[in-house]
Amino acid sequence: MSRLNVKLGDLSLKNPVIAASGTFGYGEELENFFPVESLGAVATKGLSLKPREGNPMPRIVETPSGMINAIGLQNVGIEAFIEKKLPYLESKQVVVIANIFGNTLEEYVEIARCLQPTSVPAIELNISCPNVKAGGMEFGNDPVQAARVTEAVRSVFNRHLMVKLSPNVTSLPKVACAVADAGADSLSLINTITAMAINTKTRKPMIANGVGGLSGPAIRPIAVRMVAEVYRSVKIPIVGIGGIGELNDALEFFIAGAQAIQIGTATFVEPNAAHQLVKDLDSYLKESGINHLKELVGTLKWPS
Ligand SMILES: Cc1cc2nc3c(=O)[nH]c(=O)nc-3n(C[C@H](O)[C@H](O)[C@H](O)COP(=O)(O)O)c2cc1C
């Protein structure tokens, strides 16, 4: 399937389909559905310095064409990931993208330091997290904070650094440029959009945390717009995320400027979605007489 291979800077993927963080566990969870190594890469569940239990239930609610989650970044912690989860992914020879987050810049740096001596070829930096030392504002909401955390992680991790952007900002291109200038190798976008659903009988939010992150087809047009805007602003590769479930969804993102894509919520609806998409993309290119996927990337015809 050489018409599908992708180079995100120095990171080579056999195809552009990546399992999105938080929707694919640590890779093992989906092994009864398809061979994990058929994907371009797997982005792990978000990893923190210490294990986290996450938020109280209920923490997922279905909404029109989407879902809101407030899992609270439950995960095994970086040490247990390296000892107990990474060996499985290594045995499968799939590209591992370790998604990491922290509540302080120092935490991000410490996790990246732990990953440097491992075989993990790439980090995805989730900057949609509150910086407790800066009054709780999300790192990703402020170009200065976003650049600072990127630069700090860059200085301790010398392989591929992908920065995952938060859509909950006024100008994503500004954050994207700041992060690119700070040394990111690629950008992934978007993370979930802050949202709420209310039980009108109890008048309480449907999820215990109050607010959560909206994902699924409902956010796709927003994500496509953001990819198209960011593509015009930065030179580094973009990985598109948001409501992708099938071929046409993916094509929108490639045309908007993404070189690769991630599949999140669709896996909950159809566990084979990512695997099927690899096959559908290949057939589409073949049938359309397109020699390589890159011929599609960024071919959007903006109105003049
Ligand atoms: C249940 C759930 C858990 C998630 N956990 C993480 C996470 O740990 N780290 C992260 O960066 N993004 C996380 N995300 C965001 C997804 O990776 C993705 O950016 C988002 O859901 C949009 O893509 P989708 O519409 O295809 O799901 C999570 C999403 C869902 C639905």
| Ligand 1 atom, smallest distance to 21 CA | 17
Ligand 1 mean position to 45 CA, how many Å? Answer: 9
pLDDT tens digits for range 28-37 = 999 999 999 9
pLDDT tens digits for range 1-33 = 589 999 999 999 999 999 999 999 999 999 999
* % of the chain exceeding 70 in pLDDT: 100
* % of the chain exceeding 90 in pLDDT: 96
How many alpha carbons lie under 13 Å from residue 121 in its C-beta half-sphere? Answer: 15
Residue nearest to atom 8 of ligand 1 (CA): 46
Ligand 1 mean position to 73 CA, how many Å? Answer: 10
Mean of pLDDT values over 55-76: 96
Locate 109 and state its tokens. Answer: 């740096």
Determine contact, residues 49/111, Cβ cutoff 8 Å: yes
CA angle 164, 169, 172 (to 5 degrees): 60
Ligand 1 mean position to 20 CA, how many Å? Answer: 6
Distance CA 206, CA 70 (A): 11
With a 6 Å cutoff on the Cβ, whether 162 touches ligand 1 is no
At residue 286, what are phi and psi to the nearest 5 degrees?
-60, -50
With a 6 Å cutoff on the Cβ, whether 99 touches ligand 1 is yes
Mean of pLDDT values over 84-99: 97
Alpha helix stretches (DSSP H) within the chain: 78-80, 86-92, 105-115, 143-154, 172-181, 220-231, 247-256, 266-269, 273-288
What are the chain's domains? 2-55+73-196+214-295 (3.20.20.70)
Mean of pLDDT values over 95-121: 97
Check residue 170 and give left, alpha or beta (phi > 0: left; psi -120 to 50: alpha).
alpha
Determine contact, residues 121/90, Cβ cutoff 8 Å: no
Task: Give the other-Cβ count within 10 Å of 8's Cβ.
Answer: 26
Closest to 239 (Cα-Cα) out of 218, 216, 264, 214:
264
Task: Give the other-Cβ count within 10 Å of 186's Cβ.
Answer: 25
Does the active-site annotation cover 177? Answer: no
pLDDT of residue 1: 57
With a 6 Å cutoff on the Cβ, whether 69 touches ligand 1 is yes
At residue 227, what are phi and psi to the nearest 5 degrees?
-60, -45
CA angle 75, 79, 80 (to 5 degrees): 55
Ligand 1 mean position to 192 CA, how many Å? Answer: 6
**Residue type (1 letter), 281:** L
Mean pLDDT score across all residues of the chain? 97
With a 6 Å cutoff on the Cβ, whether 241 touches ligand 1 is yes
* DSSP letter (8 states) at residue 303: -
